[in-house]
Amino acid sequence: MLKNKYPLIMVLASMVIAASVMFVHLYSHEKTKEIYLGETEKVILMLKKDFLSDTVNNLIMEIDSLREEKEAAYQLNTDARQRRFVEEYYVSEEEFAAFYETRFRGDQNQDLWTAVLINEDTNELLYASDHLKGDTPIQVVKELEETLLSKGEVRKGSLRGIFGVSKTYVENQVKEEVAASIRNRRFSNDSYIWVNEVLNYEGGDRYAIRRVHPNLPETEGTYLSTHAEDLAGNRPYEEELQGVKENGEHFFSYYFKKLNSDDIAEKITYAKLYPDFDWIIAMGVHVDEVHAYTEKVTGDIEGLTSESAFQILAILLVILLSGLFFIQVLGKARMIENQRTLLNEVSRDVLTGAETRRRGTKNLEKLFQEHKRSPGSTAVMMVDIDRFKNINDTYGHDVGDEVLKKVTMAIHHMIRNTDHLIRWGGDEFVGVFPGMKEEYLREFGEKISVEVEKLHIESAGKPLKVTLSMGFTMFRAMDGSYEDALKRADLALYESKNLGRNQVSVL
């Protein structure tokens, strides 16, 4: 009778074991899924935040660069006009005064120039631009000293002329170009950049005006209030203003309308104050994009769980246990691989905007393999900033960071979109230039040196001179890997240093 019951007992025991194994498997799988999804969401949010802050900070670097370019261009225009006035010194004072006034009154762009002409003998104001407020020569000259960005001055006998382009005019030009640039930018995740100009840092009604908003262009020019609330009762403008006042930048979340949609969703936002314009430049991404991704992953995991459950019921206990172990290991491996893939997407150095060493190494390997398959001319540059440690030790790391950013920006202006600039470590950078001829390397390096020496960097009011030491080489037929070319470029760099720095060497 026991024999007859034995199969039944075995079946029941197998069922109990299978059910136990299934329960353990499902429970552990649920926990693994929970941990995986939690960690994945954290990594995605971290990458989203990096993307937001990097994009805003890159825009701020573009604004600074544009302002410098405008200032230099208008100073050149002012100098040219001054030379033209000097050419008329041979005429009488009356004729010179008439010529001076005609040059400004007849200008097509009346807002461009701000100018005065004074008779110093009679203390008479002979000409003044309409938008000047002063009534006397002393008042007008003082006003000019405070408002002009570029300045020229001429003297003819008792006549003194002062003219130039005002800071306000140049800043308005920059603001218009930046606003147009922001409106034309497109991002794959329906993100966008917007700008609010602060009028009152104490907050309240009409504390700011909306300057740029691609999602709500019809609201540009409207006033904002820190008392405004979103659907959840948050006061995002108040939180944003307080955050940038305390730290200069701020991450926060609130509920807002999606781009090209009437749907309202939670949005994580990065805002940074650009104090020169009283601009708060911000960018955000809706959190439900992250949730949508994790929900898709959840669906995939649930499907795998159901499929594995049927398989486990059909096999022996040993196979079930092996399958459970395999699934757990596979799940963890997938989690690690996905996290690694997400982290590898961070390919830009936050401070300088150059490629990270990890991304740069991949590009070097790719370009070297292309060179092996189809030999061409690919140049490699190794460069570092002369006596950068002394700069950090003497002037502080803030100045050192400014040097790194401006040097990188200068080099970026000299290279093409197909070229690569990599922050290799500290103040050392690697450049890769597909298609560049070897005979142009020294001339190219010297042009970079000239641009870097032109950089305007100050510390405590004193100008700081920055120079580079550079080494160049080419991918060559005997190279076994890109590292062989890097070693030659490094040797060329040290040759430049041995020659006294601020040199270009080619090997």
- Please say whether the beta carbons of 283 and 52 come within 8 A: yes
Residue 90 CA to residue 162 CA, distance in Å, equals 19
CB contact at 8 A, 311 and 323: yes
What dihedral do alpha carbons 109, 114, 120, 123 form, nearest 10°? 100
**Which of these, 357, 475, 378, 469, lies nearest to 422 by C-alpha position?**
357
CA distance 435 to 414: 15
Residue extent(s) of CATH 3.30.450.20 domains in the chain: 170-287
pLDDT tens digits, one per residue of 266-286: 889 999 999 999 999 999 888
| Residue segments in the chain with a per-residue pLDDT below the cut of 50 | 344
DSSP secondary structure letter of residue 356: P
Cβ(359)–Cβ(420) below 8 Å: no
Which residues, 6 or more positions from 202, have their beta carbon under 8 angstroms from its beta carbon?
A: none
Provide the pLDDT for residue 450: 95
> CATH 3.30.70.270 in the chain, residues?
357-506
b/e per residue 243-255 (b: at least 16 CB within 10 A): bbeeeebbebbbb
Q: Which one-letter amino acid corresponds to residue 74?
A: Y
Contact 107, 100 (CB under 8 A): no
Fold of 357-506: Alpha-Beta Plaits (3.30.70)
**Angle of helix 397-414 relative to helix 441-453, nearest 10 degrees?**
140
The Cβ of residue 185 has, within 10 Å, a number of other Cβ atoms equal to 13
- Which residue bears the tokens 């949005």? 267
Q: Which residues pair with 192 in a beta bridge?
A: 284
Any idea what DSSP says for residue 345?
T
- Number of CB atoms found within 10 A of residue 383's CB: 26
Query: Both tokens of residue 228?
Result: 């405004």
Does residue 487 sit in helix, strand or coil? helix
**Structure-token match 């960018």, residue found:** 283
Q: What does the radius of gyration of the chain's CA atoms come to, in whole angstroms? A: 33
- Counting every residue written for the chain, the total comes to 507
Name the β-bridge partners of 416.
none
Give the pLDDT score at 44.
80
> Do the bridges between strand 504-506 and strand 468-474 make them parallel or antiparallel, or are there none, so unpaired?
parallel
Q: Report the distance separating Cα 445 and Cα 381, nearest Å.
A: 9
Q: Are 207 and 198 spatial neighbours (Cβ–Cβ below 8 Å)?
A: yes
CA–CA dist 111, 69 (Å, integer): 19
- Three-class HEC string of 192-248: EEEEEEECCCCCCCCCEEEEECCCCHHHCCCEECCCCCCCCCCCHHHHHHHHHHHHC
Q: Where are the beta strands (DSSP E) in 217-340?
A: 223-224, 249-257, 264-274, 279-286
The alpha helices in 347-428, defined as continuous H runs, are 357-373, 388-395, 397-414
Cβ atoms of 145 and 72 closer than 8 Å: no
**Quick one: CATH architecture of 170-287?**
2-Layer Sandwich (3.30)
For residue 242, give Cα distances in angstroms to 201, 211, 213, 238: 9, 19, 21, 6
The H-or-E segment that residue 97 falls in is helix 93-105
Nearest Cα neighbor of 426 from 470, 387, 375 is: 387
pTM over the 0.85 mark: no
Chain centroid to CA 505: 32
Residue with tokens 């070693």: 487
pLDDT of the residue at 40: 75
End-to-end CA distance of the chain: 93
